[in-house]
Amino acid sequence: MKNESKNVMVHNIYFSICGEGYGHSSRDMAVAAKLKSAGANVLMGSYGYALDRLKKSFDCIEIEKEFEMTAKDGAFDLKATISQSTNSVFHYSGIISQEKKIMKDFSATCVVADGRGASVFAAFKLGLPCIIISNQTSIESFFKESKFLLNLVGKPVDLTLKTTMALAEEVLIPDFAPPHTVCLNTLSKSPHVMKKQRFVGPVVSAKYETSQPEPAGIKSPFVLTILSGHSFSLPIFNGILKIADSFPEIKFLVFAKFKNDNIPKNTTVVGFCEDPSPYMAEAQLVIAQAGHSTAMEILTLGKPALIIPIKGQIEQEYNAKRMKELGMCETLDYESFNGEILCEKINLLLNDKKYKEKAMQYSENAREMKGSQRAADIILELSKRIQSY
């Protein structure tokens, strides 16, 4: 046992986080909070509005984005996203160099990559242990509809993904273990990747695992709608406003950045909410897109849900399909999205107890798995390896 002060083990954990959407930063904040409680030093690297929210609780540094998500006609546009991201591809080595410098300056002892490939390569070059946190270890599903696109872009991108998986020490899947995994259809079936994967359970803020005070400004019963800041979400926002009057006894609370001059009397629209956990905990029903982190939060709280995946976002479509197969929710897609069907789904979810009962089963499992703590423990164990002697 080392007693000299110069040999005291210090854990400097660097997170490299994709800034697209709120999901990556949400789960990484949960893990980082556990690490800080254990005495580790944490540095969060990201960009955009994810960086802004991270700065409120952690030491942060801005990093260059690796790609730009693009929308067309309210849907995720894969081809446009790839085209817009060409500049970053050409400068990928520069992004890796930036990541290496950050790791050196911070004296990182372990790197956590979430939605970022450059940080994995940088950690490997420096000989640092690296953990990947991901709910998607295969991108083949993104390219199924286009053989040309698969040959042109899919194979090189898939090779890059497989390489990062090979270079990392472990891949933590923030989800339930099979056969109850929500993200099952976006996980690799390659044994080279499967042997690296560890299912740690839902990784959510501790606020989703403990009792919350009743939120101010809204009284039960109410339906909570949570939408991302992307333009993909606008059709859902408009749809909720159109049908709210059909439920005069129910309040609708909408977290979204969109504006509308015709807000129904029983509807309250609020901008982005940094901490929706007390509202989720009290809501009778949650309407959301099929982002993986949001799904894990809903299930940890044991809430019935109406899931509406972003059109063309294959990962979300698979998440929604799996959640319905597991009996946790109802789903809607953009093609069948209209007021009548939306009303039917809301009525069904509010009145059929089977959805609540199934969601509560997953809630109990999530709390037992303690995903955030398990992830933090694994990261600290890896950080110790390069300091043990």
> pLDDT tens, 317-337?
999 999 999 998 999 987 778
Q: 223 and 191: one domain?
A: no
Q: Could you say which DSSP state residue 127 is in? A: T
Q: 114 and 260: one domain?
A: no
pLDDT tens digits for range 151-180: 666 666 777 888 999 999 999 999 999 999
Beta-bridge partners for 269: 254
pLDDT tier at 22, thresholds 50, 70, 90: confident
Choose between 6 and 296: higher pLDDT. Answer: 296
Choose between 112 and 215: higher pLDDT. Answer: 112
| Tokens coding 333 | 């897609």
Q: 143 and 248: one domain?
A: no
Type of residue at 35: L
Task: Encode burial over 368-389: b for 16+ CB neighbours within 10 A, e otherwise.
Answer: ebbbbbbbbebbbebbeeeeee
Q: 177 and 272: one domain?
A: no
Choose between 144 and 305: higher pLDDT. Answer: 305
Q: 356 and 378: one domain?
A: no
Q: 109 and 23: one domain?
A: yes
Q: What is the pTM of this model?
A: 0.87
Here the CATH number for the domain that contains residue 297 is 3.40.50.2000
Contact 300, 271 (CB under 8 A): no
CA angle 100, 371, 18 (to 5 degrees): 35
Contact 33, 203 (CB under 8 A): no
Evaluate whether residue 161 is within a structural domain: yes
d(CA 128, CA 109): 6
Q: 177 and 315: one domain?
A: no
Q: 199 and 237: one domain?
A: no
d(CA 280, CA 87): 39
Evaluate whether residue 2 is within a structural domain: no
pLDDT of residue 155: 67
d(CA 71, CA 208): 31
Maximum Cα–Cα distance across the chain: 71
Evaluate whether residue 40 is within a structural domain: yes
Q: 301 and 339: one domain?
A: yes
Q: Could you say which DSSP state residue 326 is in? A: T
pLDDT tens digits for range 355-369: 999 999 999 999 999
pLDDT of residue 149: 57
The total of structural domains in the chain comes to 2
Q: 266 and 302: one domain?
A: yes
Evaluate whether residue 1 is within a structural domain: no
CB atoms inside a 10 Å sphere around CB 147: 10
Per DSSP bridges, beta strands 75-76 and 71-72 are antiparallel
Evaluate whether residue 53 is within a structural domain: yes
Instruction: Tell me the three state secondary structure of residue 130.
Output: strand
Q: 196 and 236: one domain?
A: no
d(CA 320, CA 324): 6
Question: By C-alpha distance, which of 78, 82, 192, 68 is closest to 141?
Answer: 78
d(CA 147, CA 370): 41
Q: Could you say which DSSP state residue 220 is in? A: S
Q: 161 and 239: one domain?
A: no
Type of residue at 289: Q
Evaluate whether residue 60 is within a structural domain: yes
Count of residues making up the chain: 389
Quick one: 356 exposed, middle or buried, by C-beta within 10 A (0-12, 13-18, 19+)? Answer: middle
Contact 137, 165 (CB under 8 A): yes
**Domain membership of residue 340 as a residue range:** 210-368
pLDDT of residue 1: 42
Evaluate whether residue 87 is within a structural domain: yes
pLDDT tier at 33, thresholds 50, 70, 90: very high
